[in-house]
């Protein structure tokens, strides 16, 4: 087995979800991730834990949406709830065999499924425990990233197999420095955006729930975002490609939006509910081992030298109060002329911290 897979398994089990003797771990993936699944099984067993697998076959999701009726879409086997309740921790592995598998399924069926109250109950249980989401490099994901498989494997393991204790210490230092700020101003290419953050809290993401990780985020005061911003990386959400994006805000709400493609879908997203056109999160990528954009948000929002704004749902842990059915992270490169000011003080320039 590739030693890097074993190293990632050790990080996930011992650092991210911190498995102890007697704990049960629910692991969700496709069968494509078998090498990582076996490495996780070994590590959990050696820790005295109990691995449980929730595996998806290639084509299974497509078959489900193609042939399931409404009653089946609104149901969920009870054993999945029981399994989730029994688990002490949850590991989810992105390991697609076809990134366009659901491109032509009926959108209405997908909406019905995600409105399923049993699905919400399941995820409320799962994400109330220790959890982490990671990615296993597959040919499909490598192709999506514009790389061959070997290149993509190098990319993934360089971003994940690092000293997370060191990252955690550095980000805690930054959060302490930023604590107490009242206003953020972001300046860059076609960008001048101001948001209030008084009473809100910067949060360090250091590999406990995402792998890779490496970001600091805050939820701004909901009606305080004003100005305009240009996202120079292409954006994708819920399977739709939008390309590069321009947003203008007034009193917290998007009042003008332009996108390279699928403008009608952008308009629909912004109107999906009252919170969808407001900023739920402002984040700063801090993982400088991620060297390029790959159109996979798990990596892209962590790129050192970038920021991201999420439209929609905010995080209570940072003081956010915005509620929405969407949480859409949109990434901007700051390495050429980008600046961040906190209460008028320059804290970040050209993709690097100044504090």
The residues that bridge with 52 in the sheet, in sequence order, are 26
C-beta separation of 192 from 225 below 8 A: no
Kindly tell me the burial class for residue 35, based on how many C-beta atoms sit within 10 Å of its own C-beta (0-12, 13-18, 19 or more): middle
List, for residues 206-258, the tens digit of each pLDDT value: 999 999 999 999 999 999 999 999 999 998 887 788 999 999 999 999 999 99
Q: Which of 5, 4, 72, 65 is nearest to 34 (CA)?
A: 5
The answer to whether the beta carbons of residues 78 and 54 sit under 8 Å apart is no
Cα–Cα distance between 287 and 68 in angstroms, integer?
41
Residues in the chain with pLDDT < 50?
A: none
Q: pTM above the 0.85 mark?
A: yes
Report the pLDDT value the prediction gives residue 238, as an integer from 0 to 100: 77
Confidence at residue 138, expressed as pLDDT on a 0 to 100 scale: 97
The C-alpha atoms of residue 246 and residue 267 are separated, in whole angstroms, by 13
Element (H, E) at 233: strand 226-237
- The domain spans of the chain are 3-161, 165-353
DSSP secondary structure string, 235-257?
EEETTEEEEEEEEEEETTEEEEE
CA gap 281, 205 in Å, rounded: 13
Q: pLDDT for 273-308, tens place per residue?
A: 999 999 999 999 999 999 999 989 999 999 999 999
Considering only CA atoms, which of 325, 351, 318, 327 is closest in space to residue 337? 351
Is residue 22 within 8 A of residue 53, CB to CB? The reply is no
CATH superfamily of 3-161: Thermophilic metalloprotease (M29) (3.40.1830.10)
Burial of 143 (0-12, 13-18, 19+ CB in 10 A): middle
Enumerate residues 6+ apart whose C-beta is below 8 A from 193.
Answer: 185, 186, 225, 226, 227, 228, 229, 249
């Amino acid at each position: 087995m590739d030693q890097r897979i074993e190293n990632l398994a050790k990080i996930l089990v011992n650092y991210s979800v911190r498995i102890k003797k007697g704990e049960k771990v629910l692991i969700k993936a496709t069968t494509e991730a078998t090498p990582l699944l076996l490495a996780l099984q070994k590590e959990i067993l050696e820790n005295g834990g109990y691995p449980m697998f929730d595996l998806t076959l290639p084509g299974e999701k497509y078959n489900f949406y193609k042939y399931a009726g409404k009653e089946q879409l609104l149901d969920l086997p009870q054993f999945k709830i029981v399994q989730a309740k029994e688990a002490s921790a949850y590991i989810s592995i992105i390991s697609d065999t076809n990134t366009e598998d659901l491109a032509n399924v009926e959108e209405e069926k997908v909406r019905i499924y995600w409105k399923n109250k049993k699905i919400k109950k399941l995820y409320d249980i799962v994400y109330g425990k220790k959890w982490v989401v990671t990615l296993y490099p597959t040919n499909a994901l490598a192709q999506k990233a514009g790389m061959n498989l070997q290149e993509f494997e190098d990319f993934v393991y360089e971003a994940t197999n690092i000293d997370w204790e060191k990252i955690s210490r550095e980000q805690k230092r930054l959060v302490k420095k930023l604590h107490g700020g009242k206003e953020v101003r972001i300046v860059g290419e076609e960008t001048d955006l101001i948001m209030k953050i008084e009473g809100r809290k910067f949060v360090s993401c250091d590999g406990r729930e995402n792998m890779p990780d490496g970001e600091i985020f805050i939820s701004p005061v909901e009606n305080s975002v004003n100005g305009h911003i240009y996202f120079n990386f292409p954006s994708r959400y819920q399977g739709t490609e939008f390309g590069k994006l321009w947003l203008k805000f007034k009193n917290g709400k998007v009042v003008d939006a332009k996108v390279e493609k699928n403008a009608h879908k952008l308009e629909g997203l912004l109107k999906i509910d009252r919170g969808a056109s407001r900023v739920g999160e402002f984040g700063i990528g801090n993982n400088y081992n991620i060297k390029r954009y790959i159109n996979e948000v798990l990596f892209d929002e962590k790129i050192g030298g970038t920021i991201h704004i999420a439209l929609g749902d905010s995080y209570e842990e940072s003081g956010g109060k915005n509620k929405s059915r969407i949480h859409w992270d949109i990434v901007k490169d700051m390495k050429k002329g980008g600046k961040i000011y906190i209460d008028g003080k320059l804290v970040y320039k050209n993709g690097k911290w100044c504090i």
